[in-house]
Amino acid sequence: MCEPLVSVVIPVYNGADYLREAIDSVLNQTYSNIEIIVVNDGSIDHGQTEAIARSYGNRIHYIYKENGGVATALNAGIKEMNGEYFSWLSHDDIFYPDKVQKQMQLLKETNKRIAACAYHIFFDSGRKVPVPFIRFYGNESIQSSVFSVLHALIQFGGILFKKDLFDEYGDFREDLKTTQDYEFLFRILRKEKCVFSDELLYGIRYHSNQGSNTIDCVNTERDEMYQMFMQSLSRTEKEYIYGSAYNFYYQMLLRIWPVPEMYKSLQLCKERLCHEKNRTCLADTGLIQPVLIYGAGMYGRRLLFDLRCRGIKVEGFLDSSQSLTGKKVDSVTCYSLRDVENGVVKGTIMIASIFREEIAATLREKGIGPFCFKETYEQKVLQTAPEWANIKEAMSDYDV
């Protein structure tokens, strides 16, 4: 029997640096029945993007349109697709060779209509960082409605689904420039059961020119997105995902904190937390205090806030950046690994960084411990939250 046709849509704007690598990664798939639709969203790079696309001849279907944003390019590609299944690949990312084949097999085995996979974050330097999700949070949490969207675990490049979902749920919202993917997945996963795999089947490239770093409205749209999360979900849905509405709003507070310019969603979250009643007992975290947080970036600062809310003593940050050593982040001193080796500072190390595996390997090599991943800790406390009074007290340490 013939394999179902899979359409891979590649929206691109000024993509001469990476487009060829993306297209080649689809042409090299072990699954044979694929059509590639490249949508040039009005690139202004002296024809370089168009030249690369046209060099593939009839091996791809090429579309040019006036610039309108990623969502408009995706919708243009969807209108042209002939496949029974859809997948989206950003022009600067790549599929691994068996991505489509393994996801199609997974859909066949489970009789689901949408599949998601784990991925690597990779850099032009060759550095690769695995991002699993089932390993840390388990299938039960991952498959709890929109949990994977709320925690930003799921990425659209790792999605493959039946085209008929567009008929039921609509296409991408063209008024959104940076959050159209999360809004779409949020809409679908409230109703559809997704099958998740921890196999690393595609790669997301991190680079300075990606849209999240260059599009002006990214912070505004993120703020609006979290308001939408809180206002759209019913109480029953919130309780299903996190055990109670109070726990839901606390988890949203942690997602929002300390992202810049999240004013409206932060205020809404605080109001709802104040209004709700906390009826749960705090989980035993199993942490031996005090704690050292490895990673003084966004993940680490968010973890610091959570630990403060729970009354867990944080002795300091660890960070690989020597420029931070001796300085304070959110009133907490940053130390180096040498400080730990020399006994200057002690504590259970919690790794809060996308480079978790590399950091863990370094700690093992140096014989430094005990340590754990922040995700391991989070899995233990997802269904519990501190009292509102504790949260307010922790907030008083910040200028919000």
**Residue 399: pLDDT over 70:** no
Taking residues 146-162, report their average pLDDT: 94
Which pair of tokens denotes residue 46?
């002296």
Confidence category of residue 140, pLDDT binned at 50, 70, 90 = confident
Taking residues 281-299, report their average pLDDT: 92
- Domain 291-382 sits in CATH 3.60.15.10: no
Taking residues 341-348, report their average pLDDT: 95
The per-residue pLDDT of the chain, averaged, comes to 94
Residue found under tokens 């044979």: 32
pLDDT digits (tens, 9 = 90+) for 228-257: 999 999 999 999 999 999 999 999 999 998
pLDDT digits (tens, 9 = 90+) for 367-382: 999 999 999 999 999 9
CATH fold of 6-211: Spore Coat Polysaccharide Biosynthesis Protein SpsA; Chain A (3.90.550)
**Residue 287: pLDDT over 80:** yes
Which pair of tokens denotes residue 177?
């420039």
Residues 6+ apart with CB under 8 A from 344: 335
The pLDDT value recorded for residue 2 is 84
Contact 139, 118 (CB under 8 A): no
Domain extent listing, the chain: 6-211, 218-275, 291-382
pLDDT digits (tens, 9 = 90+) for 29-79: 999 999 999 999 999 999 999 999 999 999 999 999 999 999 999 999 999
pLDDT digits (tens, 9 = 90+) for 106-134: 999 999 999 999 999 999 999 999 998 88
Residues 6+ apart with CB under 8 A from 313: 289, 290, 291
Residue found under tokens 């002690």: 346
